[in-house]
Amino acid sequence: MIDQPTIDRILDAANIVDVVSDFVTLRKRGVNYVGLCPFHDDKTPSFYVSPAKNICKCFACGEGGTAVHFIMKHEQMGYLDALRYLAKKYNIEIHERELTDREKQIRSERESLFIVNAWAQQYFTSMLHEHIDGRNIGMRYFAERGFREDTIRKFQLGYSLEQRDALYQEALKRGYKKEYLEKTGLIIAYDDGRVSDRFRGRVIFPVHSLSGKVVAFGGRVLKKDEKTAKYVNSPESEIYHKSNELYGIYFAKQAIVKADRCFLVEGYTDVISMHQAGVENVVASSGTALTHGQIRLIHRFTNNITVLYDGDAAGIKAAIRGIDLLLEEGMNVKVVLLPDGEDPDSFARSHSASEFAEFIRQHETDFIRFKTQLLLDDAGNDPVKRAALIGDIIRTIAIVQNDITRTIYIRECSAKMEIDEQVVLNEVNKVRLAKLEKETNATPPAQGTATESTAPMDMPPAVPLEEEAPSEPLLPDEVMPSESVAPVVPVVPVRPKRSPFESFEWALLRYVVRYGERILYDYTDEETNEHVLWHVADYIRFDLSRDDLAFYTPLFKQMLDEAAERCGNEQFVAHRYFLSHPDPMVSRLAADLLSDKYQLSKYHSKFREIESEENRLAQYVVRDLYAFKEAYILYRIREKQEALKQLPPDNVEGMMELMKEIASLNEIKKVLAKELGERIVLKM
């Protein structure tokens, strides 16, 4: 375990801009920074980073929190592992006790797979540099490809011995379990009990995640054997999904940001040779068709991508089918056709970085123009092929998001294809309209059943989901949440039931997160001569409980309880505690409540200056407590009135009882209204 002082040192050192910048391209906007959100398909920057508050927040999907929770979400780590990650980044030493056998056993499978892959990478590297076969076979191959030793070490290249189970036997000696070796794809286990190394007799190319972890391996065979696949790759696993990975992205991300451009190639050696030549903003799709996940990975760092093709016409036609996805993501796509007989690997080895850049400058072409010319050359004068070509080009143009760019493409392509511009425009509009209708008419995902929450006995039932809501609002319009109050429920397929008092709970919880440990009242009771000390958090809970009320939203209630129980501790600072909370939902909500972009509704801020609230907490907290209670009474009155309407005319006794209850509630309402009215008109 990590002790609290060490956690505090890590949190103090972890600069949110520094941490997020490792994964997202940020641009300064006022006092904050903004970039494309890494947690959803973000085409316009909606991910804000606040250096002053040391938090991040996406105002589209709702993800956010501290540096710790950003790493937890982005790297799929647990809380302690995220702390270790940041400690390593900022050179903070962590002293942890030795884990027990039981604790080692319950470590997540994901973590175990990462550990096994990290060891395997070191094993392959040591075999390449230290074993006689590695030096004579593996290093000889890399030398023939022109790779320098510093390049080989940078990309952590390796070699797997020809022996059938050399890695497997060594792993067992080191204490690694067979099941994890099999799940990472390092070994193949047969039904008859035999085991063999997947990559035996091959040079090894480790595949790194965006943060530098080894998630998979690629192995190239060196013997010429028609029955043996030239390349073998790790299978899909808990830590490796090839549709979300790009070879070289870890080594290229900073160069991509600096150049504001990414080169896309096909293979491992293409990436390595270009790096060695001084062109580092390059990644490879590893021979697979591009996916949305891979494109979004690039899009985090730049909008501009240049695809490098060799002279193989058949290969180009197969590859360009996936380029439309780049246009769908709103990227600017260029194409460079290398000279005949050259591929990125060979071209980079025979040219310097400056020569490479000059060739790109002179030969890069806009993708749609390139595709149009390529297909025109292929179609020739064949009317059937030309008709298919026109349909293909129109579908590609229709994908382009920018209206001006799309209009230019229509004009240029209609001229190239010798078709009236209006005809092309009409066909493009048809494609876009059909797509829009398809998206509009798509069946929404099925709604799940929300889990019932525990609430005080006399609290009302949850408000139905919007589609089931009664036509008459449950509360007056002026006390419903405004659009400036952020939704508490995260963006998930299943929508939990909502509290009818959510905006009032939100207003009170905002005080708890921002000022929970502050002293609200400190006085001596004249009757009992006892010293009375109330903090913001424990007073809010006390004042609600004495009227048999509580927060109805479970997450809100949890946060209030945690703050109320800790606010007497001198070390407790509410905003710090909640931002570093191990529950991501809590930390994200805390980031919402601390964010300047989430201000109170007009109702809650109508009679005060937001800037002065810290100095007038006692007045504001009590006022919003009365507002919560008034909303509750209004709800109960409406509930009783509805019950009265449902009673049969001959049930006089029932009517009298309900009318008495309504009268009693109206009396309470008058008292609350009087108190609330007096507290609204504050002396400034």
DSSP secondary structure code for residue 30 in this structure = T
- pLDDT at position 417 is 80
Note the CATH number of domain 4-89: 3.90.580.10
**Range in 225-239, 273-287, 606-620 with the lowest mean pLDDT:** 606-620
Q: What's the pLDDT band for 684 if we cut at 50, 70, 90?
A: very low
Q: Which CATH number fits domain 249-437: 3.40.1360.10, 3.20.20.100, 3.40.190.170, 3.40.50.11890?
A: 3.40.1360.10
C-alpha 488: how far from chain center:
18
- CA dist., res. 627 & res. 560, Å (int): 18
Helices and strands (H and E) in the chain: how many: 30, 18
**Mean pLDDT over all residues of the chain?**
79
- pLDDT at position 671 is 73
Residue 279 in contact with residue 256, Cβ under 8 Å?
Answer: no
Tell me the three state secondary structure of residue 189: strand
- pLDDT at position 493 is 36
Tens digit of each residue's pLDDT (9 = 90 or more) over 339-383: 887 888 888 888 888 888 888 888 888 888 887 877 777 777 777
**Range in 311-325, 486-500, 531-545 with the lowest mean pLDDT:** 486-500
Stretch 544-565: mean pLDDT, rounded? 89
DSSP secondary structure code for residue 134 in this structure = I
Is the confidence at residue 284, as pLDDT, over 70?
yes
- CA dist., res. 545 & res. 575, Å (int): 23
Please give the model's pTM, rounded to 2 decimal places: 0.59
Tokens of 494: 């299943």
Tens digit of each residue's pLDDT (9 = 90 or more) over 446-472: 433 333 333 333 444 333 333 333 333
% of residues, the chain, pLDDT over 90:
23
Does 70 or 447 have the greater pLDDT score? 70
Q: What's the pLDDT band for 20 if we cut at 50, 70, 90?
A: very high
Query: What are the helix (H) ranges across 441-535?
Result: 502-515
Stretch 593-603: mean pLDDT, rounded? 54
Neighbours of 640 (CB within 10 A): 19
- CA dist., res. 332 & res. 307, Å (int): 11
Tens digit of each residue's pLDDT (9 = 90 or more) over 254-265: 788 778 889 999
Does 595 or 451 have the greater pLDDT score? 595
- pLDDT at position 315 is 57
Pairing status of strand 158-159 against strand 202-208: antiparallel
Pairing status of strand 282-284 against strand 262-265: parallel
Tell me the three state secondary structure of residue 394: helix
Cα distances from 524 to residues 520, 527, 528, 530, 569, in angstroms, run 14, 9, 8, 5, 21
Residue ranges covered by each domain of the chain = 4-89, 107-240, 249-437, 466-628
Note the CATH number of domain 107-240: 3.90.980.10
Rg (CA), the chain: 32
Tens digit of each residue's pLDDT (9 = 90 or more) over 266-276: 889 999 999 99
Tens digit of each residue's pLDDT (9 = 90 or more) over 383-405: 777 777 788 888 888 888 778 88
- pLDDT at position 159 is 96
Pairing status of strand 365-366 against strand 332-337: antiparallel
% of residues, the chain, pLDDT over 70:
82
**Range in 82-86, 92-96, 504-508, 679-683 with the lowest mean pLDDT:** 679-683
Q: What's the pLDDT band for 295 if we cut at 50, 70, 90?
A: confident
- pLDDT at position 501 is 84
Is the confidence at residue 492, as pLDDT, over 80?
no
One-letter identity of residue 6? T
Is the confidence at residue 427, as pLDDT, over 80?
yes
Stretch 166-183: mean pLDDT, rounded? 93
